[in-house]
Amino acid sequence: MPPLFRLHRRQFPPPKPRFLIEDWEPVYLRTWEEGRVLEKVEAALAELAHCHVCPRHCGVDRLEDEHRVCRIGRHAIVSSAFPHHGEEDCLRGWHGSGTIFFAQCNLRCVFCQNWDISQQRSGETLDAGRIAAVALALQQRGCHNINFVTPEHVVPQVIEALAEAIPRGLRVPIVYNTSAYDSVASLKLLDGLVDIYMPDFKFWSPQSAKMLSRAKDYPKAARAAIREMHRQVGVLKMGRDGVARRGVLVRHLVMPGQADEAAAIFRWLAEELSPDTYLNIMGQYRPEHEVGRAGRKGVLRHAEINRRPTADEMHAAYTAARDAGLWRFDQRVGA
């Protein structure tokens, strides 16, 4: 196996001492040694029997392959898995982040850029052993972490896969890459298994969440979820090579006309979590999926977000974050 955190001639800036983590090992190793992983599997599968894996609380028996909003039954569907070089520098490093993309989603974002994955059954149904094999193969390729993407609706299946992968040699950080529409109960089952939480924080107002993601309770659920993530792992910390090892990394996608919501999110992060919260302010929004499509009488759907954010809106987002007291912003060093 190649070194997991091999240095490169173009090293990222070293972290400040208080954000440096020395003598790191995956949190799940201690949980495994304490004999708690299989207990978590049992509890997680119980969530599937009368499904309350996410805030939707559908109540169907997914152990019997029933499904509702997320359209996933007993086993997860993996749409793709590969070393991802487009993630944040502190995740992708030099060998990539080992992304495992799950199909389907518990949200219905009208602007989703991955709608062909999130809203369609795209990929292969894999049991726990096969997901574990995928993760171990990505580790073998030198990926700096295993990055579970859109896992909110398949937390039990993720825990099952980790229970298979840990005794078979998994040793890199686990990244939980989520919309933040997560159940706190499910997140508590992940306590001691996940090293890095990477939630989006999309909307502040229930009205925006209902209109754009069809989940009016998203802001409340996201606040509770992100607070629990921070309780478990704290602010983001790196190794001396600048690659993340443990903590929370929050993403916020700047959207047209939502400057006030962004500012409210940033204030909450600084006041309720920490001014040291690591934040990626993302500018890649573009009209996708349902946005800009002709609706009744030829009227364009969601016309208010049928454009890209302006330079002024991006500048305003950074200004609002700084005004809130945040200062650890993700910036790409180099490809």
DSSP strands (E only) in 162-212: 174-178, 196-199
147 bridge partner residues: 99, 175
For the record, the structure tokens of 179 come out as 């919309």
Superfamily of domain 17-329: Aldolase class I (3.20.20.70)
Pairing verdict, β 196-199 and 237-238: unpaired
Contact 251, 201 (CB under 8 A): yes
For the record, the structure tokens of 254 come out as 């700047």
pTM of the complete model beyond 0.85 = yes
280 bridge partner residues: 251
Q: What phi, psi does 197 have (nearest 5°)?
A: -100, 135
List of residues 6+ apart from 101 with CB closer than 8 A: 78, 79, 80, 81, 114, 117, 123, 149, 150
pLDDT number for residue 8:
45
pLDDT number for residue 297:
76
Greatest C-alpha distance within the chain: 63
Contact 269, 279 (CB under 8 A): yes
For the chain, the structural domain boundaries read 17-329
Give the integer Cα–Cα distance in Å for 78 and 221.
25
pLDDT number for residue 165:
98
pLDDT number for residue 252:
98
What are the pLDDT tens digits along the chain (335 aa)? 333 344 444 467 788 999 999 999 999 999 999 999 999 999 999 999 999 999 999 999 999 999 999 999 999 999 999 999 999 999 999 999 999 999 999 999 999 988 888 887 789 999 999 999 999 999 999 999 999 999 999 999 999 999 999 999 999 999 999 999 999 999 999 999 999 999 999 999 999 999 999 999 999 999 999 999 999 999 999 999 999 999 999 999 999 999 999 999 999 999 999 999 999 999 999 999 999 888 877 788 999 999 999 999 999 999 999 999 999 999 887 54
List of residues 6+ apart from 130 with CB closer than 8 A: none
Q: Alpha-carbon Rg of the chain, whole angstroms?
A: 19
pLDDT number for residue 11:
63
Q: What is the DSSP letter of 300?
A: B
